[in-house]
Amino acid sequence: MKENYMVCNCKQVSYNDIESALHTLDRFEDVLSAFQAIQKITHCSTGCGGCHDKVIEIISDLMHG
Ligand code: FES
């Protein structure tokens, strides 16, 4: 099991937060629309934007892994 860690410091969104937000989505066609949905749920990447690439990477790992 992966260790939880903070992904978005501005909004205090952790890896686990992103993972559980992803699981609440019924379906997602692509990483970008999943990103937007998760952004709405967790507010990650709505501050400085510095975590954007990390969030995208985690979502695509979770979706394809
Ligand atoms: S670290 Fe996520 S918006 Fe700044």
Can you give the CATH number for the domain in which 55 is found?
Answer: 1.10.10.1100
How many Å apart are CA 4 and CA 22, to the nearest integer?
Answer: 15
Mean pLDDT (the chain, rounded) = 94
* Ligand 1 within 6 A of CB of 7: no
CA of 11 to the centre of ligand 1 (A): 6
Assigned domain for 1 exists = no
- 54, 59, 53, 52: which is closest to 21 by C-alpha? 59
Residue 5 token pair? 């860690």
Position in ligand 1 atom list of the atom nearest CA 44: 2
Query: Which residues constitute the domain of residue 59?
Result: 6-64
Domain count of the fold of the chain: 1
pTM, two decimal places: 0.91
> Residue 9: its pLDDT value, please?
98
Q: Report CA dihedral (40, 37, 34, 15) to the nearest 10 degrees.
A: 40
Assigned domain for 42 exists = yes
How many Å apart are CA 19 and CA 38, to the nearest integer?
Answer: 9
Assigned domain for 51 exists = yes
**Helix, coil or strand: residue 13:** strand
Tell me what the mean pLDDT of segment 12-33 comes to.
93
Tell me what the mean pLDDT of segment 28-49 comes to.
95
Position in ligand 1 atom list of the atom nearest CA 55: 2
